[in-house]
Structure 1
Amino acid sequence: MALFGLFGKKGNPPAPPDPSDARTQNRGSGSVQRRARGERSFDTEKKIDAIESEMSSEFVPSRTLTGANTIAPGETGAGEAELAPSTDVLLGVEGKAVPAELGLTEAAPALQEAAILFADEQYELAEQMLRIAIDADPENDREAWLMLLDLYQATGRQDDFDRLSIDYATRFETSPPSWRETETAAPPARSATPSVALSGMLDSSIIKSLERLQKLAEQNTSLRLDFARITGVAPVGCGLLLRSLKRLHEHELALSGTEELAARIRAILEVGRRDETEAPWLLLMELLRLQNRQQEFEDTSIDYCITFEVSPPPFVPPKTAATRLATEAQPAGDAFLLPPVIEGRNEILLADITRHAALHDPLVLDCSRLVRIDFTAAGQLLMSLSPLARAGAAIEFTGVSRLVLALFAMIGITEIARISPRKS
């Protein structure tokens, strides 16, 4: 490229300058400025090196893996928040302002246990618990029947669903729920794609998030990264994030909030102005490269070349273009449509719900597709929604299955949100 040649080979060295020449004095002043910039750049790189060194020295694996995303028996995740804190603590004395509209009273212990087992994908044990509840009180415990019908629906067992429906209609002299042909059956046991969400200022404070990203990268080949809640960028933070992304070239990445982050980076850049480090420019190009946006990468690389008078990094297509996973939940009109399965610490989903809540009151979460949510994810959902409820926001869940409803009731979501069970 001819442009890059401008900064390549030099001609014969110029004759020694005349010390009395004013232009020489200006060049000398420029040299001082360049040296000062070089020293600031060196100091920034040293700071990034020091922070990374601190990360490495403090990194100690906190768990022993027995399989993907699992913890060995007897261990707990280091530093993980309590998943089901008292709603009295979360909301305060006056926090329970949003009544729950339920089709059941507080679930019996057997039904609670069945809900937990189902959330943990232990479908056979959950079925046994519900059978025990039905046998113990076949005339009155209609909720156990409905939960068992939901279990058969969720796991695609239509023959068992039809047989139980006949018994239900005979026992209660009313029509049973109908089989939903479009229902997505609960998938086999699998591990959720772990996610990391960066928020606030992108500076040295992101060290903890990057440590978690490092741990997850060692245990998983697929990762989700959310940048939507970043409010500003600093050169040190750009350098730290850039180095972390460079280590993930063999991973399958799903990125969210890249447009917002790119806009914040561009806001601190100016073509021709050399700042203390090249990291923001290089981070911007890396984000474009990861998304396989070659033309934008090339355009940015030309500006980078003009600014620093060096050849830019080449465009190397990513092994897998980073995209947002197609299974993400999405707004559906005024309601937010939840995905069929929610597992683990899903920061990206929670961030999407929070952004939707800022634009809609009441916040309506459509659970018509939701088949299963595990205990960890339900606890995280509770903690994410509690500040909204405490601030007076109205929260509604619609189309909730009986199995999910029982789990919500047990951990306290029914105390901060209005729940509408799925219609038959």
Structure 2
Amino acid sequence: MLTRIDVGIFSLFGKKDKQPARKPTEAESSQKKREDSRVQAKNENDYVQRMAAHATAMKIDAIESEMSSEFVKPLPFSGNTMPGPASQFLNTNVRSPDTQATKVPDTATHLGQPSMLPDIMGASTAFLLGAETVIGPVAISKSEAPLAIEEAAILFANGQTDLIEPVLLNAIAEDSSGEARLTVWGMLFDLYQVTGQRDLFENLSIEFANKFEMSPPTWRVGGSAENSQAPVARNNTIPSIAFPAKLDAGIIKQLERIKNLAEMSPVLKLEFARVTQVDPVGCGLLLNILKRLQKSGHKLILVGAPELAEKIQAILLVGRRDETEAPWLLLLEVLRLLNREADFEERSIDYCITFEVSPPAFVSPQDKVTTDHEETAAADETSSDHFVMPVLIDARSDTLGQNIAAYAHTHNPVILDCSQLTRMDFNAAGRLFGDLMPLISSGKTIELHSPNHFIVALCNVMGMTDSVRIVPRKN
């Protein structure tokens, strides 16, 4: 038997079960260093991509923080837009009455007496007191209409609808408008219609029928500011926004214009024909705008959208994340709006592989998006001899005169359909009439069909009734 000492000696000097660890060769050491270097480079690259994506997202958020968060459905009124500073027009010799702003003294409706409406009227008071004011190329002079009609027309043009009712009610109560009294009643009907006050409209209808023994105007469904939805205008009257050659942070001007135009038109045309370059920031901004326009129910006409999709695709690479998600999501959104489901699904797979997330689902645009070619074809099928005017004409209607001039090139008489036109801003009206004067001088006949009483009165105030032919509404 082995003693305890023998076992110890055997374990100390005997053959060992395990071989000594083999030292790695030089080639193996080099390979391991290369692998470690690649892992470190990948980690550094991932970090750089994450930081770049974060910086891009922060830049998009910073730009959008300067804009309103939501678009609203288009309404005909956009607030109070005065022709100029009140101090430029007010007659300081006229004392404002010590009454509430909505009260109008009886003397305000008598011809030949100065207007005593409060100073909030701004340019309206000054106009009625002065002999002549020039806005743009159009000279504005006193008309032969009763003072109440002039005041109401200018207040309405300025969007000060809360001051109009007492002016018209005073004129009706005093019956001081002479032959123009039907115009006063008609303006009050239009006021109630535009502001959605149907009960007052119906009550006024009863009074009108009893007084004049004739049928009163009828309430037009969808004709109020609360639920007005203008029909799709013809192609040459649709507000258009053209994007520059580079789709980047510099498109902020186009985005602001879209935001403004979205308030006055349910249809917008976005033109991408000039775009040659795109970057992640511009893609993120455009993506958010498209989402909001879809949410607010606007109809979109996309010009050059297929080419835009190609430009976006050119900067993308499967597995590379340094562009952030914005270009990928914009590409998917454009393909969705174009109803290209097969392309959408293919790019969705690439997006899923790159970001290891589920892609957005394909949802058809529900016939709210068309291409320029489709819209032009639809316009040709429903062509008309009338130029459809927008719901609202204000400072943002800067291309309206050019569109009318283009229409007038092939039409005479130039028939402007005002059936959906609710209001003309004071300054914008002067600019529009200034744009119409060269057409009139060249021999064109300008006709305004179906304008409301406020539009007619404003034309009279601005001295345009001798230059344009007005065809009033039948009712």
Structure 1 pair 233–394 and aligned structure 2 pair: CA distance change class (3 A): farther
* Corresponding residue for residue 184 of structure 2: 147
Matched, 1:201 2:244: yes
Structure 1 residue 364, shift from structure 2 partner: 2.0
Residues 274-329 of structure 1 show CA distances to partners (whole Å, capped at 9, x for unaligned) of 8x97977753431343x4x6x5143255379789x9689823357996937xxxxx
* Corresponding residue for residue 114 of structure 1: 152
SS at match of 2:361: coil
* Counterpart Cα distance in 2 of 1:348 and 1:226: 15
The residue type paired with residue 368 of structure 2 is: T
The residue type paired with residue 149 of structure 1 is: G
* Corresponding residue for residue 21 of structure 1: none
SS at match of 1:315: coil
Structure 1 pair 287–344 and aligned structure 2 pair: CA distance change class (3 A): farther
Query: Please, which of 343, 354, 366 is the counterpart of residue 299 of structure 1?
Result: 343
* Corresponding residue for residue 277 of structure 2: 235
Q: Would you say the 8 A contact 1:200–1:230 is kept in 2? A: yes
Query: Please, which of 302, 323, 337 is the counterpart of residue 259 of structure 1?
Result: 302
SS at match of 1:152: helix
* Corresponding residue for residue 385 of structure 2: 334
Q: Which structure 2 residues correspond to residues 111-190 of structure 1 after superposition, within 5 A?
A: 111-118=149-156, 125-134=163-172, 138=176, 141-152=178-189, 155=193, 156=198, 157-168=201-212, 178-181=215-218, 183-184=220-221, 187=224
* Counterpart Cα distance in 2 of 1:244 and 1:259: 13
Structure 1 residue 145, shift from structure 2 partner: 2.5
Q: Which structure 2 residues correspond to residues 327-406 of structure 1 after superposition, within 5 A?
A: 333-338=384-389, 342=392, 357=407, 361-362=411-412, 363-370=414-421, 372-373=422-423, 376=425, 379-380=427-428, 383=431, 386-387=434-435, 389-390=437-438, 395-406=446-457
Q: Would you say the 8 A contact 1:399–1:420 is kept in 2? A: yes
* Counterpart Cα distance in 1 of 2:306 and 2:404: 21
Residues 318-364 of structure 1 show CA distances to partners (whole Å, capped at 9, x for unaligned) of 7996937xxxxx9772113457x548777699599659837752442
The number of equivalent residue pairs is: 338
* Counterpart Cα distance in 2 of 1:346 and 1:405: 22
Structure 1 pair 200–305 and aligned structure 2 pair: CA distance change class (3 A): same
Structure 1 residue 129, shift from structure 2 partner: 1.6
The residue type paired with residue 451 of structure 2 is: V
Structure 1 pair 271–241 and aligned structure 2 pair: CA distance change class (3 A): closer
* Corresponding residue for residue 287 of structure 2: 245
Matched, 1:315 2:360: yes
SS at match of 2:368: coil
Structure 1 pair 72–133 and aligned structure 2 pair: CA distance change class (3 A): closer
Structure 1 pair 271–123 and aligned structure 2 pair: CA distance change class (3 A): closer
Residues 159-182 of structure 1 show CA distances to partners (whole Å, capped at 9, x for unaligned) of 53353355346xxxxxx6x43447
* Counterpart Cα distance in 1 of 2:315 and 2:327: 14
Residues 91-143 of structure 1 show CA distances to partners (whole Å, capped at 9, x for unaligned) of 489xx9xxxxxxx95534321222345567776753432243356564x6322
Matched, 1:283 2:330: yes
Q: TM-score, normalised by structure 2?
A: 0.49
Matched, 1:420 2:471: yes
Structure 1 residue 60, shift from structure 2 partner: 8.9
* Counterpart Cα distance in 2 of 1:123 and 1:267: 49
Q: Would you say the 8 A contact 2:283–2:327 is kept in 1? A: no
Q: Would you say the 8 A contact 1:235–1:279 is kept in 2? A: no
* Counterpart Cα distance in 1 of 2:404 and 2:335: 26
* Counterpart Cα distance in 2 of 1:355 and 1:261: 25
* Counterpart Cα distance in 2 of 1:332 and 1:360: 13
Structure 1 residue 398, shift from structure 2 partner: 0.7
* Aligned sequence identity (%): 21
SS at match of 1:259: strand
* Counterpart Cα distance in 2 of 1:297 and 1:126: 53
The residue type paired with residue 453 of structure 2 is: R
* Counterpart Cα distance in 1 of 2:343 and 2:207: 65
Structure 1 pair 182–152 and aligned structure 2 pair: CA distance change class (3 A): closer
Residues 173-217 of structure 1 show CA distances to partners (whole Å, capped at 9, x for unaligned) of xxx6x4344734753668999x99522525354222335668999
SS at match of 1:113: helix
Q: Would you say the 8 A contact 1:350–1:381 is kept in 2? A: no
Unaligned runs of 5+ in 1: 1-40, 62-67, 77-82, 97-103, 170-175, 325-329
Q: Would you say the 8 A contact 1:227–1:260 is kept in 2? A: yes
Structure 1 residue 401, shift from structure 2 partner: 2.5
Q: Would you say the 8 A contact 1:149–1:165 is kept in 2? A: no
Structure 1 pair 70–272 and aligned structure 2 pair: CA distance change class (3 A): closer
Residues 240-275 of structure 1 show CA distances to partners (whole Å, capped at 9, x for unaligned) of 15434337757723445533141452575888998x
* Counterpart Cα distance in 2 of 1:92 and 1:149: 27
Q: Would you say the 8 A contact 2:389–2:418 is kept in 1? A: yes
SS at match of 1:364: strand
SS at match of 1:361: coil
Structure 1 pair 422–386 and aligned structure 2 pair: CA distance change class (3 A): same
Structure 1 pair 160–200 and aligned structure 2 pair: CA distance change class (3 A): same
* Counterpart Cα distance in 2 of 1:181 and 1:146: 16
The residue type paired with residue 253 of structure 1 is: S
Structure 1 pair 180–145 and aligned structure 2 pair: CA distance change class (3 A): closer
SS at match of 1:233: coil
* Counterpart Cα distance in 2 of 1:119 and 1:135: 24
The residue type paired with residue 286 of structure 1 is: E
Q: Would you say the 8 A contact 2:138–2:462 is kept in 1? A: no
